[in-house]
Homo-oligomer: A and B are copies of this chain.
């Protein structure tokens, strides 16, 4: 984060500096852009926006632009997220005015991403809850907030429970609550931009069961009462070089368009930023930790794209990169474009898992024929090409070196007893920033000492910060966004001497991790089929963990990417060569400690003599030592010991040349054979 050290000297002075730098000096335009810039996360490169208005501006001009940003930021600063009852009262008044008995407030934006821009933090604005998933249901007399197991504690802390009854989403799902509390004949409203058709199904049934009705609203009533709602974010959009993407956008578009045409489909609606960014080889910074440029797109059967995105956030040269098969319009143009498809009675692909209900309604009303099918970018994006895989391997080597420097630093530093969670996370980020192509962290680091490690989605704060103490475990889950790949790694360290129980648990988690790392499986196998392999050793001792075993990962895109995953939940997408997925079994003892061992792996073809089936396996991408002080060797089979020693030999050989002598010495000891 860059702090402007100058005060803003006024529009006239800045206009002069801009003119001197050879740039148009339309200050009202710049202020308009800045409203969007400060509505995007600041991130690791807070000055990049200057390239949008005055690329190559001189230092004096840049300093004043920074000062102006600070000023705009202050004036537009989002109000604190501790709402009193006033917001709920205002919303209810607005609902009554519109004849609505209730309204759904999801933690979602139009793109159904995990991270949303400040403008879309409606749930936080209304309730104070800042978790990454949740739903409030507001009725005239009562309101509830539904969160999952990760967030029950946090919701109780952040939310005024006299206003919103906190509910566990699986114990008491919203549909059951709605069926009980929606008054007969009541119209329950939803913003069709913020929900998928799939997500609404059960709620519609529940409303019907209560004798009421679920109805779309035009114009979000919460937005109507959120007077200082931030505008849409405007972070710079860049082209991602072919040396990172491996395939040109034109080639991607042609191949998908051909498949659409073959299926008699005229166009595909794209609403998820990762699909659009992947297809056009662009990246942005509109949401935290993820290089998304928010927008909508239509891919036509001839390979042409209509992109609905604010051109003001394009960095110089981006339109040339997009080429003349990509036309650009404002997001407001998305609706009229669907109308045009309707007028031609076009068959339009739209994904009911990710597209807003709005798009389905719009297409149907316009006379188009919606074809409900997977987003056509979903699988091509998930199957990384050779260039992307080479990039991710390089990124993991860089990332592993940073993690190893960090681990060596922790080992040295905690012996003096002065390391705490926040210091450790900051130090780890510092090591990563030194890496080539580093852009950002890929998520807020989970740095949990002792009992904090048992909180699966823990984020350390001044309030919870805790030193690393002898006899405790320290869990650190972190990752980075590099131009050539996205990383995500968890290591668990013994601080001092671990207990026998800690070693037993760690070794069971490790056995699960190795079972997956060594697994061979026939083509066609889904991650659902593999999940139990990672749990078996824990299950035998009556233990388990309450999260998935593996999530998909993007290429300089989202750190949580579908459609593949390793999980108890059903999944219809087989693992395919080139897909990246995490391997992260864990164990959590509430109020005591947490254990997780996470490497990213990619699916590879694995043909061997004697095979009767086309077999696949995993190549481990993450390169960093696993704490052997926590291993109870007696619990491991010979094959498991062989895996661990071979992995550590690879870690040592790969990283030793990349780190300083002190770290290399530590690494040699850390990767000793067991």
Residues of A participating in the B interface, judged by any CB pair closer than 8 Å: 209, 264, 515, 518-522, 525-526, 528-533, 536, 539-544, 568, 570-572, 608, 610-613, 615, 637
CA of A528 to CA of B571, assembled, Å: 11
- Chain B residue contacts of A264, Cβ below 8 A: 209
Contact between A541 and B613 (Cβ–Cβ < 8 Å)?
no
Known: A528-B528, A544-B613, A570-B572. A536 touches B539 (CB 8 A): no
Contact between A543 and B612 (Cβ–Cβ < 8 Å)?
yes
- Chain B residue contacts of A571, Cβ below 8 A: 570
Contact between B528 and A615 (Cβ–Cβ < 8 Å)?
no
CA of A326 to CA of B63, assembled, Å: 88
CA of A333 to CA of B658, assembled, Å: 82
Tell me the smallest distance from the CB of A132 to a CB of chain B, in Å. Answer: 24
Tell me the smallest distance from the CB of A45 to a CB of chain B, in Å. Answer: 43
Closest B residue to A540 by CB, please name it.
B520
- Chain B residue contacts of A539, Cβ below 8 A: 519-522, 615
Name 16 extra pairs, CB < 8 A, besides A541-B611, A570-B570: A519-B536, A520-B539, A520-B542, A521-B539, A522-B539, A522-B544, A526-B568, A528-B528, A528-B570, A532-B533, A533-B536, A542-B610, A542-B612, A542-B613, A544-B613, A570-B572
- Chain B residue contacts of A543, Cβ below 8 A: 611-613
Tell me the smallest distance from the CB of A635 to a CB of chain B, in Å. Answer: 12
18 contacts between A and B (CB under 8 A): A515-B536, A519-B536, A519-B539, A519-B540, A521-B532, A522-B539, A525-B532, A528-B529, A529-B532, A529-B568, A532-B533, A533-B536, A541-B611, A542-B610, A542-B611, A542-B612, A542-B615, A637-B637
Tell me the smallest distance from the CB of A252 to a CB of chain B, in Å. Answer: 26
- Chain B residue contacts of A531, Cβ below 8 A: 529
CA of A521 to CA of B519, assembled, Å: 20
Tell me the smallest distance from the CB of A42 to a CB of chain B, in Å. Answer: 42
Tell me the smallest distance from the CB of A525 to a CB of chain B, in Å. Answer: 7
- Chain B residue contacts of A519, Cβ below 8 A: 536, 539-540
In the complex, the 3 A-B pairs of residues with the closest C-beta atoms, listed nearest first: A542-B611, A570-B570, A529-B532
Tell me the smallest distance from the CB of A571 to a CB of chain B, in Å. Answer: 8
- Chain B residue contacts of A613, Cβ below 8 A: 542-544
CA of A526 to CA of B571, assembled, Å: 13
Quick one: which of B526, B530, B544, B612 contacts A612, CB cutoff 8 A?
A: B544
- Chain B residue contacts of A522, Cβ below 8 A: 539, 544
CA of A264 to CA of B570, assembled, Å: 30
Tell me the smallest distance from the CB of A351 to a CB of chain B, in Å. Answer: 17
CA of A572 to CA of B5, assembled, Å: 59
CA of A543 to CA of B332, assembled, Å: 55
- Chain B residue contacts of A540, Cβ below 8 A: 518-520
- Chain B residue contacts of A542, Cβ below 8 A: 520, 608, 610-613, 615
Tell me the smallest distance from the CB of A260 to a CB of chain B, in Å. Answer: 14
CA of A455 to CA of B386, assembled, Å: 41
Contact between A610 and B532 (Cβ–Cβ < 8 Å)?
no
Tell me the smallest distance from the CB of A614 to a CB of chain B, in Å. Answer: 9
CA of A530 to CA of B530, assembled, Å: 9
